[in-house]
Amino acid sequence: MTVMLGLEPLQVGLMFWTGGDLGVEAPPAEIATSVSSLGVSCGQLGVHGECPLDDATANRWKAVLDEHGLTVVTVVMCFSGEDYASIPICAQTVGYVPPSTRHEREIRTYAVSDFARTLGVPGLAAHIGFVPADPLDAEYAAMVALMRRICDHCQTNGQTFAMETGQESPQEMLDFIAAVNRPNLRVNFDPANMVLYGSGAPLEALDALRDHVLTVHCKDGTWPEVAGEWGRETPLGDGDVGMDQFVAKLREIGYTGPLTIEREIVGEEQRADIRRAIDLLTALRG
Ligand code: MG
Protein backbone atom coordinates (compact mmCIF):
# COMPACT_ATOMS: atom_id res chain seq x y z
CA MET A 1 0.00 0.00 0.00
CA THR A 2 1.40 3.38 -0.90
CA VAL A 3 1.44 6.44 1.28
CA MET A 4 -1.33 8.76 0.21
CA LEU A 5 -0.92 12.25 -1.17
CA GLY A 6 2.34 12.97 0.64
CA LEU A 7 0.80 12.35 4.06
CA GLU A 8 2.65 10.67 6.89
CA PRO A 9 1.69 7.03 7.50
CA LEU A 10 -1.29 6.86 9.88
CA GLN A 11 -1.61 10.64 9.94
CA VAL A 12 -4.52 11.70 12.11
CA GLY A 13 -7.31 13.34 10.10
CA LEU A 14 -10.91 14.37 10.40
CA MET A 15 -14.19 13.65 8.64
CA PHE A 16 -15.91 17.02 8.13
CA TRP A 17 -18.96 18.09 6.14
CA THR A 18 -20.02 20.82 3.75
CA GLY A 19 -22.93 21.42 6.11
CA GLY A 20 -26.33 19.85 6.63
CA ASP A 21 -27.51 17.53 9.36
CA LEU A 22 -24.10 16.09 10.15
CA GLY A 23 -22.20 19.31 10.44
CA VAL A 24 -22.46 23.03 10.76
CA GLU A 25 -24.31 25.27 8.33
CA ALA A 26 -21.40 27.48 7.54
CA PRO A 27 -19.44 28.81 4.57
CA PRO A 28 -16.41 26.77 3.42
CA ALA A 29 -13.93 29.24 4.91
CA GLU A 30 -15.53 28.90 8.34
CA ILE A 31 -15.58 25.09 8.18
CA ALA A 32 -11.95 24.88 7.03
CA THR A 33 -10.89 27.29 9.79
CA SER A 34 -12.76 25.19 12.34
CA VAL A 35 -11.09 21.97 11.12
CA SER A 36 -7.59 23.35 11.01
CA SER A 37 -8.01 24.95 14.45
CA LEU A 38 -8.27 21.40 15.83
CA GLY A 39 -4.71 20.83 14.65
CA VAL A 40 -5.35 18.39 11.81
CA SER A 41 -4.21 18.88 8.22
CA CYS A 42 -5.93 16.03 6.40
CA GLY A 43 -9.32 14.44 6.23
CA GLN A 44 -12.36 13.45 4.27
CA LEU A 45 -14.85 16.02 3.03
CA GLY A 46 -18.47 14.96 3.34
CA VAL A 47 -20.78 16.46 0.72
CA HIS A 48 -24.36 16.53 1.89
CA GLY A 49 -27.21 15.99 -0.52
CA GLU A 50 -28.17 19.65 -0.87
CA CYS A 51 -24.65 20.98 -1.37
CA PRO A 52 -24.37 22.86 -4.66
CA LEU A 53 -21.77 21.29 -6.94
CA ASP A 54 -21.22 24.15 -9.39
CA ASP A 55 -17.74 25.30 -10.35
CA ALA A 56 -17.94 28.39 -8.13
CA THR A 57 -18.61 26.24 -5.04
CA ALA A 58 -15.87 23.78 -5.99
CA ASN A 59 -13.38 26.59 -6.55
CA ARG A 60 -14.31 28.20 -3.23
CA TRP A 61 -13.68 24.89 -1.45
CA LYS A 62 -10.39 24.38 -3.29
CA ALA A 63 -9.21 27.85 -2.30
CA VAL A 64 -9.97 27.43 1.41
CA LEU A 65 -8.51 23.91 1.58
CA ASP A 66 -5.32 25.19 -0.05
CA GLU A 67 -5.23 28.23 2.20
CA HIS A 68 -5.41 26.04 5.34
CA GLY A 69 -3.12 23.33 3.98
CA LEU A 70 -5.87 20.74 4.35
CA THR A 71 -5.40 17.60 2.26
CA VAL A 72 -8.66 15.86 1.42
CA VAL A 73 -8.18 12.19 0.60
CA THR A 74 -11.82 11.36 -0.13
CA VAL A 75 -15.06 13.11 -0.89
CA VAL A 76 -17.78 11.25 1.02
CA MET A 77 -21.34 11.53 -0.27
CA CYS A 78 -24.69 11.31 1.36
CA PHE A 79 -27.95 11.87 -0.47
CA SER A 80 -31.11 13.88 0.09
CA GLY A 81 -33.84 11.69 1.56
CA GLU A 82 -31.57 9.33 3.49
CA ASP A 83 -32.83 8.59 6.99
CA TYR A 84 -30.83 6.78 9.67
CA ALA A 85 -33.66 6.75 12.26
CA SER A 86 -33.59 2.96 12.51
CA ILE A 87 -31.93 0.11 10.62
CA PRO A 88 -35.15 -0.78 8.68
CA ILE A 89 -35.66 2.89 7.68
CA CYS A 90 -32.00 3.09 6.79
CA ALA A 91 -32.42 0.06 4.51
CA GLN A 92 -35.37 1.75 2.77
CA THR A 93 -33.71 5.12 2.24
CA VAL A 94 -29.91 4.91 2.11
CA GLY A 95 -27.60 4.70 -0.88
CA TYR A 96 -28.36 3.34 -4.32
CA VAL A 97 -30.49 0.38 -3.26
CA PRO A 98 -33.91 2.14 -3.06
CA PRO A 99 -35.14 1.91 -6.68
CA SER A 100 -37.15 5.15 -6.64
CA THR A 101 -34.07 7.35 -6.06
CA ARG A 102 -31.43 5.17 -7.72
CA HIS A 103 -31.23 7.05 -10.99
CA GLU A 104 -31.11 10.56 -9.50
CA ARG A 105 -28.42 9.44 -7.04
CA GLU A 106 -26.38 7.90 -9.84
CA ILE A 107 -26.49 11.24 -11.70
CA ARG A 108 -25.64 13.10 -8.48
CA THR A 109 -22.65 10.77 -7.95
CA TYR A 110 -21.21 11.70 -11.34
CA ALA A 111 -21.57 15.37 -10.39
CA VAL A 112 -19.85 14.75 -7.03
CA SER A 113 -17.05 12.89 -8.82
CA ASP A 114 -16.54 15.87 -11.12
CA PHE A 115 -16.69 18.24 -8.11
CA ALA A 116 -13.99 16.14 -6.39
CA ARG A 117 -11.85 16.25 -9.54
CA THR A 118 -11.96 20.07 -9.43
CA LEU A 119 -10.75 19.83 -5.81
CA GLY A 120 -8.00 17.43 -6.86
CA VAL A 121 -9.40 14.68 -4.62
CA PRO A 122 -8.53 11.15 -5.80
CA GLY A 123 -11.50 9.23 -4.44
CA LEU A 124 -15.17 9.12 -3.51
CA ALA A 125 -16.89 7.13 -0.77
CA ALA A 126 -20.47 6.45 0.27
CA HIS A 127 -22.81 4.11 2.01
CA ILE A 128 -24.15 2.37 -1.09
CA GLY A 129 -27.11 0.91 0.83
CA PHE A 130 -28.12 -2.56 1.94
CA VAL A 131 -27.13 -4.70 -1.02
CA PRO A 132 -29.36 -7.82 -1.10
CA ALA A 133 -27.59 -10.81 0.45
CA ASP A 134 -28.85 -13.10 -2.32
CA PRO A 135 -26.84 -12.72 -5.56
CA LEU A 136 -29.84 -14.14 -7.46
CA ASP A 137 -32.02 -11.20 -6.34
CA ALA A 138 -32.77 -9.02 -9.40
CA GLU A 139 -31.76 -5.93 -7.42
CA TYR A 140 -28.34 -7.48 -6.85
CA ALA A 141 -27.62 -7.55 -10.57
CA ALA A 142 -28.90 -3.98 -10.87
CA MET A 143 -26.52 -2.87 -8.10
CA VAL A 144 -23.58 -4.65 -9.73
CA ALA A 145 -24.30 -2.92 -13.05
CA LEU A 146 -24.73 0.44 -11.31
CA MET A 147 -21.47 0.15 -9.38
CA ARG A 148 -19.64 -0.71 -12.61
CA ARG A 149 -20.96 2.49 -14.22
CA ILE A 150 -20.03 4.55 -11.15
CA CYS A 151 -16.55 3.04 -10.91
CA ASP A 152 -16.01 3.63 -14.62
CA HIS A 153 -17.03 7.28 -14.29
CA CYS A 154 -14.68 7.67 -11.30
CA GLN A 155 -11.92 6.01 -13.34
CA THR A 156 -12.22 8.69 -16.03
CA ASN A 157 -11.51 11.21 -13.23
CA GLY A 158 -8.60 9.11 -11.91
CA GLN A 159 -10.58 8.27 -8.76
CA THR A 160 -11.32 5.32 -6.55
CA PHE A 161 -14.80 4.64 -5.17
CA ALA A 162 -14.86 3.28 -1.61
CA MET A 163 -17.84 1.47 -0.11
CA GLU A 164 -18.44 2.32 3.54
CA THR A 165 -18.66 -0.76 5.75
CA GLY A 166 -21.49 -1.70 8.07
CA GLN A 167 -24.48 -2.59 5.98
CA GLU A 168 -23.18 -5.96 4.82
CA SER A 169 -21.21 -8.76 6.42
CA PRO A 170 -17.55 -8.89 5.35
CA GLN A 171 -18.21 -11.95 3.18
CA GLU A 172 -21.15 -10.28 1.44
CA MET A 173 -18.94 -7.27 0.77
CA LEU A 174 -16.14 -9.45 -0.64
CA ASP A 175 -18.61 -11.27 -2.90
CA PHE A 176 -20.08 -7.97 -4.12
CA ILE A 177 -16.63 -6.50 -4.84
CA ALA A 178 -15.75 -9.63 -6.81
CA ALA A 179 -19.02 -9.42 -8.75
CA VAL A 180 -18.46 -5.75 -9.67
CA ASN A 181 -14.90 -6.59 -10.67
CA ARG A 182 -13.51 -3.07 -10.99
CA PRO A 183 -9.96 -2.31 -9.74
CA ASN A 184 -10.93 1.12 -8.40
CA LEU A 185 -13.74 -0.23 -6.17
CA ARG A 186 -12.35 -0.15 -2.63
CA VAL A 187 -13.47 -0.08 1.00
CA ASN A 188 -13.65 2.69 3.58
CA PHE A 189 -13.48 0.57 6.72
CA ASP A 190 -15.46 1.94 9.64
CA PRO A 191 -15.00 -0.39 12.63
CA ALA A 192 -17.78 1.24 14.63
CA ASN A 193 -20.30 0.58 11.87
CA MET A 194 -19.58 -3.15 12.11
CA VAL A 195 -20.53 -2.87 15.79
CA LEU A 196 -23.42 -0.41 15.46
CA TYR A 197 -25.14 -2.41 12.71
CA GLY A 198 -24.21 -5.72 14.34
CA SER A 199 -22.53 -6.74 11.06
CA GLY A 200 -19.49 -8.55 12.45
CA ALA A 201 -16.53 -8.34 14.82
CA PRO A 202 -14.54 -5.34 13.53
CA LEU A 203 -11.01 -6.74 13.74
CA GLU A 204 -11.99 -9.97 12.00
CA ALA A 205 -13.84 -7.93 9.38
CA LEU A 206 -10.77 -5.77 8.82
CA ASP A 207 -8.69 -8.90 8.37
CA ALA A 208 -11.18 -10.29 5.84
CA LEU A 209 -11.31 -7.05 3.85
CA ARG A 210 -7.61 -6.18 4.19
CA ASP A 211 -6.79 -6.36 0.48
CA HIS A 212 -9.58 -3.91 -0.35
CA VAL A 213 -9.25 -1.30 2.40
CA LEU A 214 -8.24 2.11 1.03
CA THR A 215 -9.16 4.34 3.98
CA VAL A 216 -10.60 4.01 7.47
CA HIS A 217 -12.80 5.87 9.88
CA CYS A 218 -11.79 6.00 13.51
CA LYS A 219 -15.15 5.82 15.21
CA ASP A 220 -16.38 3.85 18.21
CA GLY A 221 -19.62 2.43 19.52
CA THR A 222 -21.31 -0.26 21.54
CA TRP A 223 -23.06 -3.38 20.25
CA PRO A 224 -26.85 -3.29 19.84
CA GLU A 225 -28.70 -4.36 22.96
CA VAL A 226 -31.51 -5.73 20.79
CA ALA A 227 -30.69 -7.53 17.53
CA GLY A 228 -31.84 -5.46 14.56
CA GLU A 229 -31.63 -2.16 16.45
CA TRP A 230 -28.76 0.31 16.45
CA GLY A 231 -25.90 0.12 18.83
CA ARG A 232 -24.80 3.43 20.34
CA GLU A 233 -22.00 5.61 18.97
CA THR A 234 -19.55 6.69 21.67
CA PRO A 235 -16.52 8.96 21.94
CA LEU A 236 -13.42 7.25 20.54
CA GLY A 237 -11.98 4.80 23.04
CA ASP A 238 -15.20 4.42 25.05
CA GLY A 239 -16.91 1.82 22.84
CA ASP A 240 -16.46 -1.84 21.95
CA VAL A 241 -14.07 -1.47 18.98
CA GLY A 242 -10.83 -1.47 21.00
CA MET A 243 -8.89 1.39 19.40
CA ASP A 244 -5.48 0.13 20.46
CA GLN A 245 -6.18 -3.24 18.84
CA PHE A 246 -7.66 -1.54 15.79
CA VAL A 247 -4.55 0.57 15.20
CA ALA A 248 -2.33 -2.46 15.86
CA LYS A 249 -4.32 -4.44 13.30
CA LEU A 250 -3.99 -1.63 10.74
CA ARG A 251 -0.22 -1.79 11.16
CA GLU A 252 -0.29 -5.59 10.85
CA ILE A 253 -2.11 -5.46 7.50
CA GLY A 254 0.31 -2.78 6.22
CA TYR A 255 -2.20 0.07 6.20
CA THR A 256 -0.44 3.42 5.81
CA GLY A 257 -3.35 5.76 5.02
CA PRO A 258 -4.75 8.35 7.40
CA LEU A 259 -6.63 7.70 10.63
CA THR A 260 -9.72 9.75 9.92
CA ILE A 261 -11.76 10.56 13.01
CA GLU A 262 -15.52 10.47 12.54
CA ARG A 263 -17.80 11.67 15.35
CA GLU A 264 -21.41 11.86 14.26
CA ILE A 265 -22.75 14.44 16.64
CA VAL A 266 -22.59 18.22 16.35
CA GLY A 267 -21.60 21.21 18.44
CA GLU A 268 -19.16 21.71 21.28
CA GLU A 269 -19.47 18.12 22.51
CA GLN A 270 -18.34 16.94 19.07
CA ARG A 271 -15.30 19.23 19.16
CA ALA A 272 -14.40 18.08 22.69
CA ASP A 273 -14.68 14.42 21.64
CA ILE A 274 -12.60 15.09 18.52
CA ARG A 275 -9.85 16.69 20.61
CA ARG A 276 -9.77 13.62 22.86
CA ALA A 277 -9.75 11.35 19.82
CA ILE A 278 -6.78 13.24 18.31
CA ASP A 279 -4.87 12.77 21.57
CA LEU A 280 -5.75 9.07 21.73
CA LEU A 281 -4.77 8.34 18.13
CA THR A 282 -1.61 10.46 18.34
CA ALA A 283 -0.55 8.31 21.31
CA LEU A 284 -1.49 5.04 19.59
CA ARG A 285 0.29 5.79 16.31
CA GLY A 286 3.44 6.61 18.30
MG1 MG B 1 -18.05 6.11 8.77
CATH of the domain at 240: 3.20.20.150
pLDDT per residue as tens digits for the range 53-112 = 999 999 999 999 999 999 999 999 999 999 999 999 999 999 999 999 999 999 999 999
Domain of residue 234 covers 12-285
Residue 43 β-bridge partners: 14, 72
Centre of ligand 1 to C-alpha 196, Å, is: 11
N- to C-terminal Cα distance for the chain? 20
Determine the Cα–Cα distance for residues 223 and 225; give it in Å rounded to an integer.
6
Q: For the chain, what percent of residues have pLDDT higher than 90?
A: 92
The reported pLDDT for the residue numbered 1 is: 41
1 lies in some domain: no
Centre of ligand 1 to C-alpha 23, Å, is: 14
2 lies in some domain: no
241 lies in some domain: yes
Centre of ligand 1 to C-alpha 194, Å, is: 10
pLDDT per residue as tens digits for the range 9-46 = 999 999 999 976 556 678 899 999 999 999 999 999 99
Centre of ligand 1 to C-alpha 84, Å, is: 13
133 lies in some domain: yes
37 lies in some domain: yes
The reported pLDDT for the residue numbered 5 is: 82
Would the pTM count as exceeding 0.75? yes
How many domains would you assign to the chain? 1
Inter-CA distances, 249 with 5, 88, 98, Å: 22, 31, 34
Centre of ligand 1 to C-alpha 155, Å, is: 23
Centre of ligand 1 to C-alpha 153, Å, is: 23
Determine the Cα–Cα distance for residues 169 and 264; give it in Å rounded to an integer.
22
Centre of ligand 1 to C-alpha 49, Å, is: 16
The reported pLDDT for the residue numbered 2 is: 44
5 lies in some domain: no
Strand 71-77 relative to strand 185-189, pairing: unpaired
Residue 216 β-bridge partners: 189, 259
pLDDT band at 152 (very low <50, low <70, confident <90, very high): very high
Centre of ligand 1 to C-alpha 60, Å, is: 25
Centre of ligand 1 to C-alpha 282, Å, is: 20
| Ligand 1 (single-atom ion) residues, CB below 5 Å | 190, 217, 262
